[in-house]
């Protein structure tokens, strides 16, 4: 009986791969470290770009979330870093590289602690305690500018946008693009809805040819004969937006009609023509000068509108229709039976213009402007796409800054202050947690370390200078890395600002990811059902 009790019990399917224990945690950390090694060189104003290509596309970027997505990471633990980068991008729009770097450094420090015999649960508890201490200190150091006048607020927003663009491909033109971004944010009004910002890309010209349209702009849609006879410029036009198809084929049905007299066929065809001309007359009588439709506008309708000095465009994208509606006050119609002046939109000027090799329809001086459109220019497709990502990051930062009105000086200065505060706090702890808090504090210094390293300077020398400055009680607390001259700089005096919400989210997300990976002590990989079926003796 005792012999039977000692037989092994098989719970998992044949072919299941299983790994567990401290060695598994370290393997997961090593996998994450490989990703961090790829990402960390993109940090800062002197960070390098990554070229990622597949069979179809080539992408050149230093945006952390974009790189993480394109790497197509399959390791289950390392994919957590992809998720936190995406979370950071969705929540605040920037700091995606920082969050991955900090999470990687936390894991690297944790690896050393694990090898020293400290249990994962103690490290996790220590990291969470450290996170709370650091967030509390961050809130104390945060600078609120809500009581500033409008001009000062706008100037702070410009500095925040410029700081975000410092590390981008267009850093040489950061003043130009930061001004466009801040103007765009102010134009959105109280809604601050990013969906009302359109970005169109036209290859050719200089990046300084980029335009900001206070209204809507979209590429000329497919058009039929007769379009060239339509007017291409209007002042104070009435705009009609439709979700109606203006083509003969729209009236056809999959039905069978039997007739006894051949003359009846002509009446059926004529009825179809009467229907579309009735629709066109209703549009003309509404007083609309411009007709846009999500659905096709055929050759008959195009010629009719040309004869009546009306501009039309069919197959307009849904996003462009929504932004046109917001900007002009027009209401999209699905029927033509109740057209009146209340559903028509208005704008100061409409024109069709040539931009590069494309024709664009532009609605300017909209009376209900809550939307803007960037028309990006540049010499190469990859360059324009990176400009789009850069503007997206800067715009998200400005919008978050308007909402929260809290900033902290950047250049690694805030991380040095938080690290110092945590080291001081750790001295009040008398157990193993003190070592964990110290390791967390060291991880925060990774940001200024990589900022200086990526700029090509001695990171150890610069960090020593920063530690000395931040330890002096009489010293200014806002000293960070000068990436251009390889020295330290007062980030506050030089107006290098970052949004507090970005830093807060970086710390929360990085800590959460590190604790999650440290809590995984066993990985079980089940074989796919297809493989099971192939191995099954009953198949």
pLDDT at 20: 59
pLDDT at 468: 80
Residues 249 and 339 in one domain: yes
Cα–Cα distance between 336 and 338 in angstroms, integer? 6
Residues 413 and 355 in one domain: no
Among candidate residues 134, 198, 96, the one with its CA nearest the CA of residue 506: 96
The answer to whether the CB of 141 falls within 8 A of the CB of 408 is: yes
Cα–Cα distance between 127 and 518 in angstroms, integer? 11
CATH number at residue 91: 1.10.560.10
The answer to whether the CB of 162 falls within 8 A of the CB of 175 is: yes
What does the angle CA 115 – CA 434 – CA 504 come to, to the nearest 5 degrees?
Answer: 100
Buried b / exposed e across 374-408, counting CB within 10 Å, b at 16+? bbbbbeeebbbbbbbbbbbbbbbbbbbbbebbbbb
Q: What is the pLDDT of residues 35-63, one digit of tens each?
A: 888 888 888 777 787 888 877 778 887 77
Q: Phi, psi at residue 116, to the nearest 5°?
A: -85, 0
Residues 346 and 239 in one domain: yes
Q: What is the pLDDT of residues 449-508, one digit of tens each?
A: 888 888 888 778 888 888 887 777 655 678 888 777 777 888 777 777 788 888 888 888
The answer to which of 127-131, 268-272, 397-401 has the lowest mean pLDDT is 268-272
pLDDT at 1 over 60: no
- At 384, list the tokens: 């324009």
Residues 17 and 123 in one domain: yes
pLDDT at 307: 86
User: What is the pairing mode between strands 345-355 and 238-242?
Assistant: antiparallel
Residues 120 and 24 in one domain: yes
Q: What is the pLDDT of residues 105-154, one digit of tens each?
A: 888 888 888 888 888 888 888 888 888 888 888 888 888 877 777 787 78
Among candidate residues 501, 420, 463, 509, the one with its CA nearest the CA of residue 103: 509
Strands, E, within 388-507: which ranges?
Answer: 406-409, 479-482, 487-490, 497-499
pLDDT at 238: 85
Residues 225 and 364 in one domain: yes
Say if 163 falls within a structural domain: no
Average of per-residue pLDDT across 304-332: 85
Say if 420 falls within a structural domain: yes
- 369's torsion region: left (phi>0), alpha (psi -120 to 50) or beta? beta
Cα–Cα distance between 418 and 98 in angstroms, integer? 15
Q: Is the dihedral of CA 361, 366, 372, 375 positive or negative?
A: positive
Residues 126 and 242 in one domain: no
Q: Which domain holds residue 344?
A: 215-368
Residues 362 and 220 in one domain: yes
Burial class (CB in 10 A: 0-12, 13-18, 19+), 51: exposed
Q: What is the pLDDT of residues 190-232, one digit of tens each?
A: 666 777 788 888 888 788 888 888 888 888 888 777 778 878 8
pLDDT at 13 over 60: no
Average of per-residue pLDDT across 292-316: 85
The count of domains in the chain is 2
- At 420, list the tokens: 């110092």
pTM (2 d.p.): 0.74
Report the mean per-residue pLDDT for the chain. Answer: 79
pLDDT at 332 over 70: yes
**Greater model confidence, 506 or 260:** 506
The answer to which of 227-236, 265-274, 322-331, 433-442 has the lowest mean pLDDT is 265-274
- At 450, list the tokens: 């990589």
Cα–Cα distance between 159 and 457 in angstroms, integer? 25
pLDDT at 254: 61
pLDDT at 527 over 70: no
Q: Phi, psi at residue 84, to the nearest 5°?
A: -70, -30
Run of H or E residues at 365: strand 358-366
Say if 206 falls within a structural domain: no
Say if 87 falls within a structural domain: yes
Say if 140 falls within a structural domain: yes
pLDDT at 25 over 60: yes
Point out the domain boundary residue: 319, 353, 368.
Answer: 368
DSSP-assigned letter for residue 221: P
The answer to which of 223-237, 251-265, 396-410 has the lowest mean pLDDT is 251-265
Say if 419 falls within a structural domain: yes
Average of per-residue pLDDT across 276-295: 84
pLDDT at 66: 80
| Count of H-run helices and E-run strands, the chain | 18, 19
pLDDT at 535: 46
Point out the domain boundary residue: 344, 368, 392.
Answer: 368
- At 60, list the tokens: 């050149």
Among candidate residues 114, 125, 98, 94, the one with its CA nearest the CA of residue 510: 98
pLDDT at 515 over 50: yes
């Amino acid at each position: 009986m005792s012999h039977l009790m000692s037989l092994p019990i098989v719970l998992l399917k044949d072919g299941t791969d299983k790994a567990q224990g401290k060695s598994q945690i370290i393997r997961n950390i090593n996998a994450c470290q490989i990703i961090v090694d790829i990402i960390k060189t993109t940090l800062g104003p002197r960070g390098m770009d990554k070229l990622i290509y597949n069979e179809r596309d080539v992408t050149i970027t230093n945006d952390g979330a974009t790189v993480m997505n394109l790497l197509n990471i399959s390791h289950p633990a390392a994919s957590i870093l992809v998720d936190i980068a995406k979370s950071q991008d969705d929540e605040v729009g920037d700091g995606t590289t920082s969050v991955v770097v900090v999470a990687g450094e936390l894991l690297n420090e944790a690896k050393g602690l694990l090898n020293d015999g400290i249990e994962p649960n103690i490290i996790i508890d220590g990291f969470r305690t450290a996170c709370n201490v650091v967030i509390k200190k961050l809130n104390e150091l945060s600078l609120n500018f809500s009581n500033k006048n409008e001009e000062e607020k706008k100037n702070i927003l410009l500095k925040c946008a410029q700081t975000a663009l410092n590390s981008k491909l267009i850093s040489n033109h950061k003043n130009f693009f930061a001004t466009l971004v801040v103007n765009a944010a102010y134009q959105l009004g109280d809604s601050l809805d990013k969906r009302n910002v359109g970005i169109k890309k036209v290859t050719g010209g200089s990046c300084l040819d980029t335009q900001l349209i206070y209204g809507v702009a979209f590429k000329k849609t497919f058009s039929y004969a007769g379009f060239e006879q339509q007017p291409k410029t209007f002042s104070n036009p009435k705009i009609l937006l439709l979700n109606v198809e203006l083509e003969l084929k729209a009236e056809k049905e999959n039905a069978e009609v039997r007739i006894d007299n051949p003359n009846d066929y002509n009446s059926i065809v004529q009825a179809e023509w009467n229907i579309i001309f009735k629709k066109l007359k209703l549009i003309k009588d509404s007083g609309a000068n411009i007709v846009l439709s999500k659905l096709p506008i055929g050759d008959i309708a195009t010629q009719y509108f040309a004869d009546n000095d009306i501009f039309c465009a069919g197959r307009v994208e849904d996003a462009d229709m929504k932004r046109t509606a917001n900007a002009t006050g027009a209401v999209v119609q699905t029927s033509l039976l109740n057209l009146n002046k209340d559903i028509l939109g208005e704008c100061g000027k409409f024109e069709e213009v040539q931009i590069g090799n494309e024709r664009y329809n532009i609605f300017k001086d909209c009376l209900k402007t809550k939307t803007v459109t960037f028309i990006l220019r540049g010499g190469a497709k990859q360059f324009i796409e990176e400009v789009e990502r850069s503007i997206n990051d800067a715009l998200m930062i400005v919008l978050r800054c308007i909402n929260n009105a809290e900033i902290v000086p950047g250049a690694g200065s805030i991380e040095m202050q938080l690290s110092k505060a945590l080291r001081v706090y750790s001295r009040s702890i008398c157990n193993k947690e003190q070592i964990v808090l110290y390791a967390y504090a060291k991880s925060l210094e990774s940001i200024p370390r990589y900022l200086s390293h990526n700029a090509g300077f001695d990171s150890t020398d610069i960090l020593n200078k920063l530690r000395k400055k931040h330890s002096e009680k009489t010293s200014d607390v806002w000293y960070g890395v000068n990436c251009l001259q390889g020295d330290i700089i007062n980030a506050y005096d030089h107006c290098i600002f970052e949004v507090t919400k970005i830093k807060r989210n970086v710390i929360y997300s990085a800590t959460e990811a590190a604790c999650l990976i440290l809590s995984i002590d066993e990985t079980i990989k089940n074989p796919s059902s297809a493989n099971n079926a192939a191995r099954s003796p009953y198949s």
